[in-house]
Amino acid sequence: MASPCDDRRSAPAVARNRDPILVVLRQVLPDHGTVLEVASGTGEHAVHFARHLPALTWQPSDPSPEACASIEAWRRAEGLGNVWAPLALDAAAATWPEVSAAAVVCINMVHISPWAATLGLLRGAARILPPGGVLYLYGPYRQTGVPLAPGNAAFDADLRERDPRWGLRELDEVVAAAGHAGFTLDRIVEMPANNLSVVFRRGDLASGAG
């Protein structure tokens, strides 16, 4: 077990969203295989999902050394045999570490990263997923014909002030980019706090465009 003075970090949002996300993951993830989590952050989602989905192996990843240290600390503290050591993976990179996966999960990255990271995520997931493999995205989005909730509007303004390349994405643009990469939209699930679960499935032949 890890000592109290370790590298584990905590994000308050995880405690609020992990169980609603788990409900959707139970519906869409395969019965067994490896799930690659892109942008795992603190690592709290990884250990929570691995604990409740013991037939799946969780492969966390993040480009941040600090995040990877937190993920590894959580992994060691929880002692779960179905969580692998974190990979240093930048979604926007042209090449990813060697990994095979039955599904890819990405939580709260699309809006807190440049658009290039989303395009890279789509291309990378298309390369490693089998036909029919799931790509699961979670977070807030702009939707055509749906007024932006005040909380999301304020969050979007804050993100863009912090980095002009960040901000809530138009869901239609994400769906279109996913289509260019070879994915089809499986479902959209409304989540608490004006977030969405967006589930894609890889087609028989992913184009790799986007």
Q: What mean pLDDT, rounded, does the chain reach?
A: 94
**Token digits for 180?**
């260019």
Q: How far apart are CA 141 and CA 174, in angstroms?
A: 9
In contact, 56 and 34? CB cutoff 8 Å: yes
Query: Does the pLDDT of residue 4 top 70, yes or no?
Result: no
* Per-residue pLDDT, 10: 84
Q: What is the pLDDT of residues 86-98, one digit of tens each?
A: 999 999 999 999 9
User: How many Cβ atoms from other residues are within 10 Å of residue 156's Cβ?
Assistant: 18
Claim: this prediction has a pTM higher than 0.85: yes
Q: How far apart are CA 12 and CA 15, in angstroms?
A: 6
Average pLDDT over residues 168-188: 98
Domains, the chain, ordered by start: 12-149+158-202 (3.40.50.150)
